Structure 1
Amino acid sequence: MKINHLTSAEENLMKLFWKLESFYLKDIMEHHPEPKPHQNTVSTYLKILVEKGYLSTEKEGRIFKYTVIVPFDEYKKFLLRELSHNLFNDSGKEILEFLFNEKLISQDDLKGYFDLKIELKPAKIKEPKLEYANEILNPKKDKKKDKKKKKKKD
């Protein structure tokens, strides 16, 4: 199914249509918030949305019953793919970085979505060889004898 772009006015009407799923023109006029558009305007948008493949029609007597064809989740997927492709070079990493930087998402938000089982094990650090420090702190007896001999000679 090919999904087409919607104008902001079409998208606003589709938000109402997705809630209703199946409806008549009178249902739209009843459910649309104030200020209500003129009935002819809504009829024009309905015709456009049918042509774009978002709605289907079924004639019942003298009136049409409209049904949503493109589910809201499919439209969201379409928009996110377009956004990812056009603005983020198809990189999920870039999208996440942007969301974090703009504080639109936090790590706590992601904890419920990703069940990552990462165990952090402490790295084994080799103790540095402190030869000179050990010589100073723990001098060998042989060296003491050598030092005593040198002092006696002087």
Structure 2
Amino acid sequence: MTAKIAYDDVEVGTELPGRTFPVTRATLVQYAGASGDFNPIHWNEKFAKEVGLPDVIAHGMFTMAEAIRVVTDWAGDPGAVVQYGVRFTKPVVVPNDDKGARIDVVGKVAAKLDDHTVRIDLTALCEGQKVLGRSQALVRLA
């Protein structure tokens, strides 16, 4: 599959529209049900603190999935993403309140490669702290 965006219309430095993703404890329960990952660090505050975490944390794969949405929304076709990888640098701590946490994600075209592919570099922050490092996606454009 290829994106709906033309390769020739994109320049290095093009910024993708950023997004903010809210994360609540309810979100984590829903994700656990969908993914089958019921590790208590994602829902049990007492357990999370006993293992040295500051509180319940979001699933790393959930954080990763939310971040790539910036790319798939921009590209117009999730199938245009041909490669995606991140390093988990800091957990997304999700307090037990009405607000929860927020993951702020921005992206930028970092390189134009051969065969109509671009590399997108993503920055994902929670409370001003980078939660994903080396977050990069390769996207095949039209």
TM norm structure 2: 0.27
Structure richer in helix, relative to its length? 1
Structure richer in strand, relative to its length? 2
Q: Point out the structure with max Rg over C-alpha.
A: 1
